[in-house]
Amino acid sequence: MTDFRSFRASAVVLRHADWGEADQLLTLYTREQGMVRALAKGARKITSRKGGHLQPFTQITIQLARGRDLLIVTQVETINAFLPLHDDLLKTGHAAYVVELLLRFSYEDEGANPSIFRLLVETLGRIESEEDAWLAVRYYEMRLLDAVGFRPQLFECANCGREIRAEDQFFSFAAGGVICPRCGEGLPSLPKISLEALKYLRHFQRSSYRDASRANPSLEVRKEAEMLMQGYFTHLLERALNTPGFIKKIKP
């Protein structure tokens, strides 16, 4: 972090919590500093002009001053409120999942990562505008894993290093990738990954979103890919995520 007493940042509000009688404690992901916490004094007062700008998922421009222990919000302006994310419960759930993943893989003072900030804003926009969020969310998962250093190995066997052939494989959460049938038969309790599911995960890993958005996997392949990604995240984080259960409950 720089030593300037005050700085301006582009940010997305990840979450907020009540603080004291009228303040809010914010967790923000900024383009300039990565993840930071900041105190919005008086934000819960009815007369506050800040409160409306500080809802979760909101993209803002914010002026922050350095207090004794926390950054202090001095000015804030909404760039994009992503209102449909608040009006549609399923969209809310998907946006909350995107935020939960980012919170789990980020920590304060790790520094700027503009590519993650851009990915976050673009993904919220895709969830807002697209009828089906499945592809936007799977693409986000793959790109976030790239950005935080846990890119799954999908083109060579994660055990022996041989190139993966066009056949059903295994997937190892511990090894971080696909295991060929030759290795997988001797390893216990590995989930299988079909050729179709592997094809789509590879496509999301190496394609632009424009190219990836042409994908139209079957419902079975969607469920398989989603289950594998959830298993991988649970292994990496050593605990299950909260939002997938909520999404399943509200999904039609």
Tell which CATH architecture fits domain 84-250: Up-down Bundle (1.20)
> Can you name the CATH fold of 6-80?
OB fold (Dihydrolipoamide Acetyltransferase, E2P) (2.40.50)
Contact 36, 70 (CB under 8 A): no
Q: What are phi and psi of 60, to 5 degrees?
A: -135, 160
Query: What are the structural domain ranges in the chain?
Result: 6-80, 84-250
Contact 180, 162 (CB under 8 A): yes
Q: pLDDT tens track of the chain, all 252 residues? A: 444 688 999 999 999 998 888 889 999 999 999 999 999 988 778 756 666 789 999 999 999 999 888 999 999 999 999 999 999 999 999 999 999 999 999 988 888 899 999 999 999 999 999 999 999 999 999 999 999 999 999 999 999 999 999 999 999 999 999 999 999 987 878 999 999 999 999 999 999 999 999 889 999 999 999 999 999 999 999 999 999 999 999 987
Contact 152, 176 (CB under 8 A): yes
Report the SS3 class of residue 185. Answer: coil
* Three-state secondary structure of 159-172: CCCCECCCCCEEEE
Q: Provide the strand spans (E) within 180-247.
A: 192-193
Q: Which residues of 184-218 are buried (b: 16+ CB within 10 A; e: fewer)?
A: beeeeebeebbeebbebbbbbbeeebeebeebebe
Tokens representing 49 are: 């002009």
